[in-house]
Amino acid sequence: MTKQSLFRMTLAILLAALCAAGTVAAADLKIGAAEALSGPAGQYGQSIRNGFQLAADEINAAGGVKGNKVVLQVEDEQGKKEEAIDVFKKLIFQDKVLMLFGPTLSNSAQAADPIAQSAKVVVFGTSNTAEGITSIGDHVFRNSVTEADVLPVTLSVAAKNAKIKKVAVLYGNDDVFTKSGYDAFKKALDDLKIGVTTTETFAKGDVDFKAQLTKIKASNPDAIVLSALIAEGAPIMVQARQLGINLPFIGGNGMNSVKIFDLAKDKSDNLWVGSPWALSSQSKENQRFVASYKQKYQADPDQFAAQAYDAMHIAAQAIGKIKLSGNLEADRKALRDAMATVSWTGATGAFKFRRAMGADGKPAGYDAQQTAIVSVTRGGKYEIKR
């Protein structure tokens, strides 16, 4: 058995080496991406891959980066931390990519980004919104806007438009997204001096929320702040309306999905969400992105695709600024320094990087500096509000 597996392992390595040798020409810019193409986070990963591919095709069609073709290598990390580490190692040490995108989930990023950091390779997250990802080190970048940046904007716009003085809070306490969303909401509510009448929780997979909603109704708030994923968030909205609670809902990132219109149908009105990107945003960059995405994939893009699309363009800008020496280590270092200085206007609007602080108080990686777009649902559509 051991002999056979050893043989197979060598065979696999030989094969991989052959494949690698076949695709690399002198002027190819090899960019790796580790995304969750399968598993529970698969739908996000696939959107992200589409976004990357679309941008890479555009860049190559326009003659590449200073004549060099972008070669995108996307590997599946299944949304698991061990897989993410394996894929990062493979892309960095075996495929020798110039830089990395991914991974899809924040948890995987916590596990895999230190690998890239210690190998001194730029790792660029397009969907990691949890706190502390960029404090891992100075090679960690992201263009995903964190909830800590989005939610204060969502709250203040909603409070101004709907005259909200006090809110009830409802969140899922067993999920990374919804829990970190709640933490960000709590901080934003404190900062904006909006009172909280009651705080209720639920768990993933719950289907009946009437107990929490009845309590919330009794506490008489002006609005309900909801940090939930769409699977629980949609039934929460439906059940609230059934109980006669016609208050506005203010949702976190998890509620920002067009699926709400399918799931909550006529009960989907009056949900306020903030996002760095909106399908209906009228900027010419976004219009072009949406049109070409629809043409290529026969579907509407989502936020994940938009951020991946922009990330690829941002990376191309950075690569365009450096002089490739052919020495991989030197090129990776030059790319890191160039990346921090990029500013770009893409589908998600004007963008630049902002230095984040590490756990030790020293400057570490780079977060996104971007303004959120706040919209409210009306009759099965998003309306952008200011």
Contact positions toward another protein, by CB under 8 A?
1, 5, 8-9, 12-13, 15-16, 19, 37-38, 75-76, 81-83, 85-86, 89-90, 92-94, 107, 110-111, 114, 130-132, 136, 173-176, 178-180, 359
Tell me the HSE value of 331 on the side-chain side, using a 13 A CA sphere: 15
Please say which residue, 88 or 344, places its beta carbon nearer to another protein.
88
Please say which residue, 37 or 167, places its beta carbon nearer to another protein.
37
Please say which residue, 13 or 211, places its beta carbon nearer to another protein.
13
What φ, ψ does residue 24 adopt, rounded to 5°? -85, 115
**What tokens appear for 78 in the block?**
């299944």
Q: How far is the CB of 111 from another protein (least distance, A)?
A: 4
Q: How far is the CB of 229 from another protein (least distance, A)?
A: 12
User: CB–CB of 76/37 below 8 Å?
Assistant: yes
Q: How far is the CB of 135 from another protein (least distance, A)?
A: 8
Q: How far is the CB of 109 from another protein (least distance, A)?
A: 9
Q: How far is the CB of 147 from another protein (least distance, A)?
A: 12
Please say which residue, 16 or 27, places its beta carbon nearer to another protein.
16
Please say which residue, 131 or 206, places its beta carbon nearer to another protein.
131
Please say which residue, 112 or 318, places its beta carbon nearer to another protein.
112
Q: How far is the CB of 86 from another protein (least distance, A)?
A: 5
Please say which residue, 102 or 248, places its beta carbon nearer to another protein.
102
Task: Please name the residue that has the structure tokens 């090679």.
Answer: 139
Q: How far is the CB of 90 from another protein (least distance, A)?
A: 5
Compute the distance between CA of residue 162 and CA of residue 95 in angstroms, rounded to an integer.
53
Helices (H) and strands (E) in the chain, counts: 12, 15
Q: In terms of DSSP bridges, do strands 166-172 and 195-202 run parallel, antiparallel, or are they unpaired?
A: parallel
Strand order in the sheet with 223-227: 195-202, 166-172, 223-227, 249-251, 271-275, 373-378, 381-385
Cβ neighbours of residue 172 under 8 Å, at least 6 residues apart?
Answer: 178, 179, 201, 202, 203, 204, 227, 228, 229, 232
> For the packed helices 106-118 and 81-89, what is the interaxial angle rounded to 10 degrees?
30
Q: How far is the CB of 8 from another protein (least distance, A)?
A: 7
DSSP secondary structure string for all residues of 244-290: T--PPEEE-GGG-STHHHHHHGGG--SEEEEES--TT---HHHHHHH
Q: In terms of DSSP bridges, do strands 69-76 and 28-35 run parallel, antiparallel, or are they unpaired?
A: parallel
Peptide bond into 235 cis (omega under 30): no
Please say which residue, 65 or 87, places its beta carbon nearer to another protein.
87
